[in-house]
Amino acid sequence: MTTRSYDLMVISGRYKMPKSTFFNIEEEKRNRIEKAAFNEFYKNKFNEASINNIVKEAKISKGSFYQYFEDKYDIYKHIMDIISQEKIKYLMPVMEKSNELDFFIFLKRLYIRGCEFAVNNPIYYKVAYDFLKDPELMERIYKEYKGMSNDFMFKFLRQGIENGSIREDIDLELISCMISGLNESLSQYIINNVELDNVEKLEYLSDVLIDFLKNGIGK
Protein backbone atom coordinates (compact mmCIF):
# COMPACT_ATOMS: atom_id res chain seq x y z
CA MET A 1 0.00 0.00 0.00
CA THR A 2 1.40 3.41 -0.96
CA THR A 3 1.67 6.24 1.54
CA ARG A 4 -0.96 8.18 -0.39
CA SER A 5 -3.36 5.22 -0.30
CA TYR A 6 -2.88 4.93 3.43
CA ASP A 7 -3.45 8.67 3.89
CA LEU A 8 -6.69 8.44 1.89
CA MET A 9 -7.90 5.63 4.12
CA VAL A 10 -6.99 7.45 7.31
CA ILE A 11 -8.52 10.75 6.21
CA SER A 12 -11.72 9.19 4.91
CA GLY A 13 -12.08 6.90 7.91
CA ARG A 14 -12.24 3.71 5.88
CA TYR A 15 -11.84 1.09 8.55
CA LYS A 16 -15.27 -0.59 8.52
CA MET A 17 -15.92 -2.00 5.05
CA PRO A 18 -18.62 -4.10 3.40
CA LYS A 19 -18.18 -7.85 3.67
CA SER A 20 -15.21 -9.28 1.79
CA THR A 21 -17.61 -11.04 -0.59
CA PHE A 22 -18.52 -7.65 -2.07
CA PHE A 23 -14.96 -7.05 -3.20
CA ASN A 24 -14.68 -10.53 -4.65
CA ILE A 25 -17.44 -10.05 -7.22
CA GLU A 26 -16.74 -8.70 -10.71
CA GLU A 27 -16.15 -4.95 -10.99
CA GLU A 28 -19.14 -4.37 -13.26
CA LYS A 29 -21.49 -5.85 -10.67
CA ARG A 30 -19.91 -3.84 -7.83
CA ASN A 31 -20.28 -0.66 -9.86
CA ARG A 32 -23.89 -1.51 -10.61
CA ILE A 33 -24.71 -2.00 -6.94
CA GLU A 34 -22.92 1.20 -5.92
CA LYS A 35 -24.68 3.18 -8.65
CA ALA A 36 -28.06 1.84 -7.53
CA ALA A 37 -27.27 2.80 -3.93
CA PHE A 38 -26.16 6.30 -4.95
CA ASN A 39 -29.37 6.78 -6.91
CA GLU A 40 -31.51 5.59 -4.00
CA PHE A 41 -29.82 7.81 -1.43
CA TYR A 42 -29.89 10.70 -3.91
CA LYS A 43 -33.65 10.36 -4.31
CA ASN A 44 -34.44 9.56 -0.68
CA LYS A 45 -33.11 10.45 2.73
CA PHE A 46 -31.60 7.57 4.69
CA ASN A 47 -34.73 6.73 6.69
CA GLU A 48 -36.85 6.72 3.53
CA ALA A 49 -34.42 4.80 1.32
CA SER A 50 -35.24 1.19 0.50
CA ILE A 51 -33.03 -1.87 0.09
CA ASN A 52 -35.76 -3.24 -2.19
CA ASN A 53 -35.23 -0.34 -4.59
CA ILE A 54 -31.46 -0.82 -4.54
CA VAL A 55 -31.59 -4.54 -5.34
CA LYS A 56 -34.21 -3.96 -8.03
CA GLU A 57 -32.12 -1.34 -9.84
CA ALA A 58 -28.90 -3.30 -9.34
CA LYS A 59 -30.61 -6.46 -10.67
CA ILE A 60 -29.51 -8.64 -7.77
CA SER A 61 -31.49 -10.70 -5.28
CA LYS A 62 -32.11 -9.50 -1.75
CA GLY A 63 -30.22 -12.56 -0.53
CA SER A 64 -27.20 -11.45 -2.53
CA PHE A 65 -27.42 -8.00 -0.96
CA TYR A 66 -27.08 -9.49 2.51
CA GLN A 67 -24.08 -11.50 1.37
CA TYR A 68 -22.34 -8.18 0.69
CA PHE A 69 -23.75 -5.85 3.37
CA GLU A 70 -25.09 -6.24 6.89
CA ASP A 71 -27.96 -3.80 6.40
CA LYS A 72 -28.96 -0.48 4.85
CA TYR A 73 -26.60 1.43 7.12
CA ASP A 74 -23.68 -0.72 5.96
CA ILE A 75 -24.15 0.19 2.30
CA TYR A 76 -24.87 3.81 3.21
CA LYS A 77 -21.58 3.98 5.12
CA HIS A 78 -19.85 2.50 2.06
CA ILE A 79 -21.39 5.18 -0.18
CA MET A 80 -20.34 7.94 2.22
CA ASP A 81 -16.86 6.47 2.25
CA ILE A 82 -16.72 6.63 -1.56
CA ILE A 83 -17.73 10.29 -1.43
CA SER A 84 -15.04 10.98 1.18
CA GLN A 85 -12.32 9.30 -0.86
CA GLU A 86 -13.36 11.03 -4.07
CA LYS A 87 -13.30 14.38 -2.29
CA ILE A 88 -9.83 13.70 -0.90
CA LYS A 89 -8.61 12.86 -4.41
CA TYR A 90 -10.09 16.16 -5.58
CA LEU A 91 -8.32 18.01 -2.76
CA MET A 92 -5.01 16.28 -3.38
CA PRO A 93 -3.52 18.95 -5.70
CA VAL A 94 -3.85 21.43 -2.81
CA MET A 95 -2.81 18.97 -0.14
CA GLU A 96 0.36 18.03 -2.00
CA LYS A 97 1.51 21.65 -1.74
CA SER A 98 0.69 22.03 1.95
CA ASN A 99 4.33 22.09 3.06
CA GLU A 100 5.09 24.89 0.56
CA LEU A 101 2.22 27.17 1.55
CA ASP A 102 1.46 29.45 4.45
CA PHE A 103 -0.99 27.41 6.55
CA PHE A 104 -3.79 29.94 6.20
CA ILE A 105 -3.41 30.22 2.42
CA PHE A 106 -3.46 26.44 2.28
CA LEU A 107 -6.62 26.31 4.40
CA LYS A 108 -8.44 28.81 2.19
CA ARG A 109 -7.52 26.90 -0.98
CA LEU A 110 -8.73 23.73 0.69
CA TYR A 111 -12.11 25.29 1.53
CA ILE A 112 -12.63 26.65 -1.97
CA ARG A 113 -11.55 23.40 -3.62
CA GLY A 114 -13.98 21.53 -1.38
CA CYS A 115 -16.84 23.78 -2.50
CA GLU A 116 -15.86 23.28 -6.14
CA PHE A 117 -16.04 19.52 -5.56
CA ALA A 118 -19.62 19.87 -4.36
CA VAL A 119 -20.61 22.02 -7.35
CA ASN A 120 -19.03 19.58 -9.82
CA ASN A 121 -20.52 16.48 -8.17
CA PRO A 122 -24.21 17.23 -7.54
CA ILE A 123 -25.15 13.64 -6.64
CA TYR A 124 -22.37 13.46 -4.06
CA TYR A 125 -23.38 16.87 -2.75
CA LYS A 126 -27.06 15.94 -2.39
CA VAL A 127 -26.28 12.71 -0.52
CA ALA A 128 -23.83 14.54 1.77
CA TYR A 129 -26.31 17.42 2.21
CA ASP A 130 -29.01 15.03 3.43
CA PHE A 131 -26.47 13.45 5.76
CA LEU A 132 -25.60 16.80 7.32
CA LYS A 133 -29.30 17.45 7.84
CA ASP A 134 -29.73 14.26 9.88
CA PRO A 135 -28.31 14.76 13.42
CA GLU A 136 -28.92 11.15 14.47
CA LEU A 137 -27.16 9.74 11.42
CA MET A 138 -24.32 12.25 11.77
CA GLU A 139 -23.74 11.25 15.38
CA ARG A 140 -23.69 7.56 14.46
CA ILE A 141 -21.20 7.96 11.62
CA TYR A 142 -19.00 10.50 13.38
CA LYS A 143 -18.48 7.99 16.17
CA GLU A 144 -16.80 5.76 13.60
CA TYR A 145 -14.84 8.70 12.17
CA LYS A 146 -13.80 9.91 15.63
CA GLY A 147 -10.39 11.49 15.55
CA MET A 148 -9.93 11.31 11.75
CA SER A 149 -10.61 14.98 11.12
CA ASN A 150 -8.37 15.91 14.04
CA ASP A 151 -5.55 13.73 12.71
CA PHE A 152 -5.97 15.32 9.27
CA MET A 153 -5.66 18.85 10.68
CA PHE A 154 -2.86 17.88 13.09
CA LYS A 155 -0.67 16.89 10.14
CA PHE A 156 -1.09 20.21 8.35
CA LEU A 157 -0.76 22.31 11.49
CA ARG A 158 2.56 20.61 12.15
CA GLN A 159 3.67 21.47 8.62
CA GLY A 160 2.61 25.06 9.32
CA ILE A 161 4.93 25.12 12.31
CA GLU A 162 7.74 23.67 10.20
CA ASN A 163 7.35 26.30 7.46
CA GLY A 164 7.04 29.14 9.97
CA SER A 165 3.44 30.20 9.34
CA ILE A 166 2.23 29.03 12.78
CA ARG A 167 3.69 29.57 16.24
CA GLU A 168 5.68 26.71 17.71
CA ASP A 169 4.10 26.96 21.18
CA ILE A 170 0.55 25.95 20.25
CA ASP A 171 -1.10 22.81 21.63
CA LEU A 172 -1.40 20.84 18.39
CA GLU A 173 -3.98 18.35 19.65
CA LEU A 174 -6.22 21.02 21.12
CA ILE A 175 -6.01 23.37 18.11
CA SER A 176 -6.61 20.46 15.71
CA CYS A 177 -9.78 19.61 17.60
CA MET A 178 -10.92 23.24 17.66
CA ILE A 179 -10.37 23.77 13.93
CA SER A 180 -12.20 20.54 13.12
CA GLY A 181 -15.15 21.80 15.15
CA LEU A 182 -15.07 25.17 13.38
CA ASN A 183 -14.94 23.43 10.00
CA GLU A 184 -18.02 21.41 10.90
CA SER A 185 -19.82 24.57 12.03
CA LEU A 186 -18.88 26.36 8.80
CA SER A 187 -20.17 23.43 6.74
CA GLN A 188 -23.48 23.54 8.60
CA TYR A 189 -23.74 27.30 8.07
CA ILE A 190 -23.07 26.94 4.34
CA ILE A 191 -25.60 24.12 4.01
CA ASN A 192 -28.30 26.24 5.65
CA ASN A 193 -27.53 29.67 4.22
CA VAL A 194 -25.44 29.68 1.05
CA GLU A 195 -25.75 28.44 -2.52
CA LEU A 196 -22.63 26.49 -3.40
CA ASP A 197 -22.25 28.26 -6.74
CA ASN A 198 -21.96 31.61 -4.93
CA VAL A 199 -18.17 31.59 -5.05
CA GLU A 200 -17.83 35.18 -3.82
CA LYS A 201 -19.83 34.40 -0.67
CA LEU A 202 -17.91 31.18 -0.08
CA GLU A 203 -14.58 32.99 -0.35
CA TYR A 204 -15.86 35.62 2.08
CA LEU A 205 -16.86 32.95 4.61
CA SER A 206 -13.51 31.20 4.33
CA ASP A 207 -11.77 34.55 4.87
CA VAL A 208 -13.88 35.21 7.98
CA LEU A 209 -12.94 31.84 9.47
CA ILE A 210 -9.27 32.21 8.62
CA ASP A 211 -9.17 35.74 10.03
CA PHE A 212 -10.73 34.38 13.21
CA LEU A 213 -8.07 31.67 13.43
CA LYS A 214 -5.27 34.15 12.83
CA ASN A 215 -6.45 37.00 15.03
CA GLY A 216 -9.29 35.85 17.27
CA ILE A 217 -12.06 38.30 18.17
CA GLY A 218 -10.26 40.51 20.66
CA LYS A 219 -9.48 44.17 20.03
Those residues of the chain that have pLDDT short of 70 are 1-16, 144-147, 219
Can you give the residue ranges of every domain in the chain?
84-218
pLDDT for the residue numbered 171: 93
Q: What is the pLDDT of residues 58-91, one digit of tens each?
A: 999 999 999 999 999 999 999 999 998 999 999 9
pLDDT for the residue numbered 190: 82
Query: Given 1.10.357.10, 3.40.309.10, 3.40.50.1860, 3.10.20.30, which CATH number is that of 84-218?
Result: 1.10.357.10
Q: Can you state the angle between helices 148-162 and 172-193, rounded to 10 degrees?
A: 120
Contacts of 144 by beta carbon, 8 Å cutoff, 6+ apart: 13, 15, 16, 77
pLDDT for the residue numbered 55: 98
